[in-house]
Structure 1
Amino acid sequence: MSTKEEDGELKSPLYVIREVYEDQDSYEKFIAELDKALDERYETIIIEPAKVGDETSRWIRVGNCLHKTAMISSIASIASAAIWPKNLHSMCACAAISTFCSSIYWISWSYDPCVKYQIETNSQVLKNKIPNYSEFSSPVVLKYKDNSIAKYIHRTFCLVAVSICLFRVYQLFRGNSVSIRMENLAVVENFSE
């Protein structure tokens, strides 16, 4: 049903996971079928079994939420550093949120084949692309979308936000250590007089 190209990208347009319950292991078979379709990178995957579709769409939405939260908090940290350079609280808090979300995303989603798919909800697009779309009973439709560039941008923004935050903290401590040394010199001079 599928033909792979040399680079590993699958250009076959459609894979359907039908909701056919043959025995008690049907759920595991649906999951195995989904894993196979994700690994082979079909352009569109239609998931009929409601439980598998709900779990998959929830997993993708959580990953999207983590990605967007990390991006927004990175941008907020960078903007905070530009607007209020002395305010470390907001800058570092946003950088910490970005780092936390990016870490969870990287550990849990970065290597999952689901990360390359988005949920297609536009019924007009679905009707145009899938001729017999009306035959499916409330399917979850996944659309392949290469997100390599978005992942690199995400990581770059996070690294920039954390780097700016660490540099500002370094400047703060370096400035304090200089002022502490100056105070110590003043105390020593006063003591020697």
Structure 2
Amino acid sequence: MATMTASKPVGSKSEGPRITVEVPVLRIGEAASDYEGLARYVDSLRNPPGLHLTLLHVGILDDLAQDIVAWTKGLSSPEKTLPEIASWLTELPVLQGFLGKSEKLIPLGGGRLMGLEVDVPQEVHDYQALLVQGLHTLLDDLGLDNIDDFILSSPALGYRSPRWLPHIAVGKARTRHEPEMEIAPVAIECGDSRIRNGQALPSAK
């Protein structure tokens, strides 16, 4: 189990597993060749068993704790916040598996990656909105103010926009200015939601 401390200076980066709420990608297209064909557009196509769609990025917990400490000027300590965050995550309801579709490759990560933009059912959007609402309530209980501003500015949470865009990172972009690309429509099957690196969560108290 990872050790969570507050000994690092605010703003420093911790080493540790990134925590996300995500769904695994079980299938893209009708055959393996449908996914392999994306190698025409991207470099270093990712291994299919590792593909996932992120619903909520929580980040490295030590870094999130430091972001909260800085925002609350030390009033919310990691010893209090980390078990509360862990408890909230482990008690989340599970989103059942679903089918989606993609017709577009888009640049991600400032242009370093390419991903499939995914059309998902409304219940997936509703679940993701539930996650953000729950995060908002959790942060309010931890004593944060201006929570929308915190969520968008926290380096650990990593939000760049208040709008959630479902996507699956599939490989490296060939250039830093790669444009969006239309592709032949492919069906995407996703499994039940899970906590990535959940074994690294501290014990809730």
Which TM-score band applies after superposition, normalised by the shorter structure? under 0.3
- Larger Rg belongs to: 1
Indicate the structure with greater strand content: 2
TM-score relative to the length of structure 2:
0.25
Indicate the structure with greater helix content: 1
Instruction: Considering Cα pairs closer than 8 Å and 6+ residues apart, tell me whether 1 or 2 has the greater RCO.
Output: 2
